[in-house]
Structure 1
């Protein structure tokens, strides 16, 4: 069996699937591209996952030759091997082209996490039909889209909804991090990708600086996805001359940092959904290369980019994008969330309802769907 996950969030999602599959496929070789969490289930990564962790049109173009080379080498390896199934985990720009050729060669293909065809580039549903034997869906509203398109699909819930407790233990998280129980805490999450750190770090830490001017006793937590991200973050902070802003820089422990927080400043992406499932007020912000933004800002179908807002179909939390993502605007929005108890309680209830809607036995449902696809292919063959 082969899988490809292209970034930290994909590694986490794939790892959840593997916890359901590994006990049922104890002797199977599982390899492709993945991260440390997948490795815990015996997954072997043939190429570094970080090579695929690039976001933005022009950023991808700058790395196109290297990424294309990785895909060609992996493609040939899989065509020679003919695995029982290939599962692309997110990373649609990399995985869908790979899946098309594998499917044409008679290898069953699955894709875990639908591309955001409901948000932009809806025409990709035609390419998905060519590429995917079966789709695993993590949002309930996607089922109708795939049913209408005639693409086999299974709603398996969102893995995070099982991993994150319905009632997070704030006191335990603060104790683990050495924080005072009654401290006022803001967690700052500029992103796990190097490109996200590049464009978000300075603005996010300037926001923290403004908040500290209002409340010098505020505790600022900054979790990093890995050592490379940590080193790059430090370089960016030094370059921006923000090293005097007092923050607790953490290796990993992002869930602990979120659980401990009173409010979170987070880059758009899976992390924003994690924050919602921890029932925390948040401000979503995102910046990217100017040329990429100029193209992408005209391509969306919806007014929201953050997953909590997309699921709610309204702006339940503020979003600040590109030039609107100023330290002053974000600090003001976070301060309101820190200060308004009625707002905090309202957000908490919205996020509890959201959590219930996403809660399924994801590992069991997704692993069973994989085994069904393998079994069906063997019967036909």
Structure 2
């Protein structure tokens, strides 16, 4: 590679993409110091030196109903990026996740001779498998996080590299629960501790906060010494959850609201209630028994359900190829059902031990030194 400055345009769609992007940027910089990054990212990518054109939050919407609500703004941002990158072509474009936004952009840029890499395979194995044809047209290479994805792309003739999952590199294989409880000043040390993770997006927290507070109340009736840790991703989501606590007059509940610190909460916890998404994988890698839940607008759920291929939605179950943790979704996600499932889980020592073995096996499979493997797959496009 020459010493001239190369430009990589990157678009990440949410908090998990911001982490992936920052680690990848760092690994690319180690191999190719003369690279500048431009596009959409969050605080982590900005911290590694990205020139941010639009804040990441603009893209962090999910579900048909929410996307429709923000449709004009999203289309406007994508048009702006397309025109900018065609007028001043970067040496490479990397779309991180956000397939509904990134694939159309990648398609347009690839047609104008710009190499395109898509990092994180869209879940074609779970639903909307027909997207593989569009992916083939839109990307120069796909970087897959999960081992079962690689053969699907090879079969369809899409250049693919399995890179593992960066969280498996970052998170400890043997988390120290008691040390974490000491660090978080949880007393007594042997109390039953539950982590409640209602998601990182405001819409998710709005839909789940009421049920989460009600679930904590019911658990407390069965376990009077129980404690609850609620990590929240932003000031806005914290306010939403806090308002629900006040609305239910539950200020006396032993709930600790945290700014971030989701990993700490999962390490300290005996069990977690987790909104479906990347957090379920984080809980698995941190060997935290969990119940997965989710609520979305009724129309979005109805459409998604009709297109779903697999009987499960949670990443631990998908990676294990069977139900290893409970999934209680939509109308079934009542406080009664969630509290009962959590109590059944944490009180079953054999089930917890088996889960730890399953989660350890997943950890080993996904630990691949992902950022450097991804950077190695990308660097030839800058040559």
Normalised by the length of structure 2, the TM-score is 0.95
Equivalent-residue separation in structure 1 for 2:248 and 2:215 (angstroms): 13
| Match of residue 15, structure 1, among 12, 17, 22 | 22
Partner SS state of residue 297, structure 1: helix
1:175 is aligned to 2:182: yes
Greater displacement, 13-22 / 308-317: 13-22
1:3-42 superposed matches below 5 A: 3-42=10-49
Q: Is the 8 A contact 2:226 2:254 kept in 1?
A: no
| Match of residue 288, structure 1, among 282, 288, 296 | 296
Post-superposition offset of 1:58:
0.9
Q: Is the 8 A contact 2:94 2:119 kept in 1?
A: yes
| Match of residue 331, structure 2, among 301, 323, 333 | 323
Post-superposition offset of 1:119:
0.4
Unaligned runs of at least 5 residues, structure 1: 376-381
Equivalent-residue separation in structure 2 for 1:236 and 1:90 (angstroms): 31
Unaligned runs of at least 5 residues, structure 2: 1-7
Greater displacement, 39-48 / 229-238: 229-238
| Match of residue 93, structure 1, among 96, 100, 104 | 100
Equivalent-residue separation in structure 1 for 2:29 and 2:253 (angstroms): 45
Post-superposition offset of 1:165:
0.9
Equivalent-residue separation in structure 2 for 1:71 and 1:101 (angstroms): 11
Q: Is the 8 A contact 1:15 1:38 kept in 2?
A: yes
**What's the counterpart of residue 319 of structure 2?**
311
**What's the counterpart of residue 68 of structure 2?**
61
**What's the counterpart of residue 352 of structure 1?**
360
Normalised by the length of structure 1, the TM-score is 0.96
Post-superposition offset of 1:125:
0.2
Q: 1:56 to 1:343 in 2, by over 3 A?
A: same
**What's the counterpart of residue 243 of structure 2?**
235
**What's the counterpart of residue 365 of structure 1?**
373
Q: Deviations over 1:276-307 (max 9, x none)?
A: 00111100000011111121111100000000
Q: Is the 8 A contact 1:206 1:242 kept in 2?
A: no
Partner SS state of residue 33, structure 1: strand
Q: Is the 8 A contact 1:267 1:286 kept in 2?
A: yes
Post-superposition offset of 1:374:
2.1
Equivalent-residue separation in structure 2 for 1:244 and 1:287 (angstroms): 26
| Match of residue 337, structure 1, among 325, 331, 345 | 345
Q: Is the 8 A contact 1:108 1:374 kept in 2?
A: no
Q: Deviations over 1:83-141 (max 9, x none)?
A: 11110000000000000000001100000000000000000000101110000010001
CA RMSD of aligned residues (A): 1.2
| Match of residue 148, structure 1, among 147, 155, 180 | 155
**What's the counterpart of residue 378 of structure 1?**
none
Equivalent-residue separation in structure 2 for 1:330 and 1:294 (angstroms): 21
Q: Give the count of matched residue pairs.
A: 375
Equivalent-residue separation in structure 2 for 1:44 and 1:207 (angstroms): 43
1:247 is aligned to 2:255: yes
Equivalent-residue separation in structure 2 for 1:170 and 1:133 (angstroms): 43
Q: Is the 8 A contact 2:116 2:138 kept in 1?
A: yes
Q: Is the 8 A contact 1:134 1:373 kept in 2?
A: no
**What's the counterpart of residue 168 of structure 2?**
161
Post-superposition offset of 1:16:
1.9
1:218 is aligned to 2:226: yes
Moved over 6 A (4+): none
Partner SS state of residue 24, structure 2: helix
Greater displacement, 112-121 / 294-303: 294-303
Equivalent-residue separation in structure 2 for 1:6 and 1:360 (angstroms): 23
